Structure 1
């Protein structure tokens, strides 16, 4: 493998497009057609191998998603392939399974991309070009948030700033639209934790990286699979996967609470000495509520980490593949 500074370009890679799918019946046929056009154009220009393919990973869909994947495979078994989970295991596991499958099929590189076509398919060619220039990982980074609500825009920026403050390597405005070389995927395969957060793991792999900026569009059809509750859960996964700072904050909060109690004690002594003491109901209730809330929050943070340890200790498989095309 060469570096990005090499004058000789890499050979045209055997490319796998990894597309995680969960109840994507309304859009998957259109996604397949768009990707076929993109890959065919790259094959015709000699930028990727003619054996390149699209790998759909069905994350336990309850609609006709897998049936459509089977139909696509029947029409063009070389171009369209599929993996079907026996049960819904989440977006990150679906992406990971597709990347590992690409590695097992001797692909030179794989691009993960959501099925809703919000990520710009025209960026695929630029990602391949960057790979051929020598980069092992190419991140797709959106350059606009025109279609986001003000709330989503604010929470996204806050999340990336929080992750940076906690010392986690993340790429702002990058989701899971990225190219990874065979070398990078092989390194990723050595990460065995159940608590997968690829947006943090992949940047931490090292290697030579690049960014491709693109304009993110609107969802072509169907509904978003990331409502607020799932976004919060995903954020918690990222925080607990890469940082123990929340546990440090619990300790700091304990010291602050102790100092607050000392200050309250001094206030009470002074009030009694000056004859201004009242029943103290207000200060007592404030202290009780404050300490009670602090204890519950602390227990909740610690519980989140213990829960992750519990899941890791069981060492259960991340997913089970029911069918493979």
Structure 2
């Protein structure tokens, strides 16, 4: 029977986490009763260096429930790396891994369809939103624009898919071979090439806590994804520079013609506009080149993508002093 692991990265989720734990436990039991998954299936929470009581809640749940497992990262590695840490850790205990966020905005009962698709032979099952009506207009517009740009430049992204997906063990093992530091899972997973399908669902509104992707962070995330998978931006700047050069040559010929015909007039508007235009293009080009150089610099250092502080996949005995302290609180 299928052994499932549900991986949930968490960052400052103390308000939402208790309900998330209870709902996922109830879902797991339902799937076991329906004989879709084995009783050996687990739920793995990854604390991504939270500053609130998130880890305490996860630790208590590990002590109370055998099916709950926890991993604590030494620092805030970022959502994508925390997700990867949970996926890699869970691959040895399960036939397939489902990843989802802790805010319960994704319909958790779609996991039932994920498992059925996996049992039909699919290695990757993408959870895709039917619509984005719970998002603000700005967030919806920027997200849709991002997907269009990425698809236009040849990056294989699943439209309206975030990180709610199922992956088989062999898909996870293939994913583990990608060693890049600048991780963008939404772009990496489709590169694996294994049989895949999609399941559509309605996304809910967040019940508690705040989003971990405000507007500026979402923009940075999108830019990281764009520059991690395509040379198109830097080629676009090169093309823009070439076009600017051609326009400058034509403008110089025009000014030379006016001078030869005696129609020149003194003025500074055209000069200032030209300086600003060329200066802006240069700064933009330098900044974009620097972005790529920075990514090469990060990759060349080969630093670990995350560091595990506490690993409770094999039980809470790893940190005995914390276990005794929290056991007293539970009682």
Please give the TM-score of this superposition, normalised by the length of structure 1.
0.95
Partner of 1:7: none
Partner of 2:311: 324
> 1:139 aligned to 2:126?
yes
Partner of 2:77: 89
Contact 2:139-2:215 within 8 A present in 1 as well = no
Partner of 1:14: 3
Partner of 1:3: none
Post-superposition shift, 1:276? 2.1
> 1:129 aligned to 2:116?
yes
- Within 2, Cα distance between the matches of 1:48 and 1:276? 84
Give 1:47-86 correspondences, 5 Å limit: 47-76=36-65, 78-86=66-74
Post-superposition shift, 1:280? 3.7
- Within 1, Cα distance between the matches of 2:51 and 2:138? 30
- Within 1, Cα distance between the matches of 2:199 and 2:136? 24
Post-superposition shift, 1:167? 0.9
Give SS of 1:222's match. Answer: coil
| CA displacement 1:116-158 (0-9 Å, x = unmatched) | 0000011010000100011000000000211111111110110
Give SS of 2:108's match. Answer: coil
| CA displacement 1:15-54 (0-9 Å, x = unmatched) | 1000000000000010011101111000111100101010
> 1:29 aligned to 2:18?
yes
Give SS of 2:139's match. Answer: helix
Partner of 1:4: none
Post-superposition shift, 1:246? 1.2
Partner of 2:139: 152
CA-based RMSD: 0.8
- Within 2, Cα distance between the matches of 1:149 and 1:45? 38
- Within 2, Cα distance between the matches of 1:122 and 1:45? 13
- Gap regions ≥5 residues in structure 2: 313-331
From 183, 199, 206, the equivalent of 2:170 is 183
Count, aligned residues: 312
Partner of 1:250: 237
| CA displacement 1:205-239 (0-9 Å, x = unmatched) | 11100100000000121000001121111011101
- Within 2, Cα distance between the matches of 1:270 and 1:153? 50
Post-superposition shift, 1:274? 3.1
From 72, 97, 102, the equivalent of 2:90 is 102
- Within 2, Cα distance between the matches of 1:234 and 1:58? 20
Please give the TM-score of this superposition, normalised by the length of structure 2.
0.93
Give 1:290-309 correspondences, 5 Å limit: 290-309=277-296
Give SS of 1:122's match. Answer: helix
- Within 2, Cα distance between the matches of 1:13 and 1:182? 11
| CA displacement 1:218-264 (0-9 Å, x = unmatched) | 01210000011211110111011110111211221121111011111
- Within 1, Cα distance between the matches of 2:60 and 2:238? 56
Give SS of 2:69's match. Answer: strand
> 1:264 aligned to 2:251?
yes
Partner of 1:173: 160
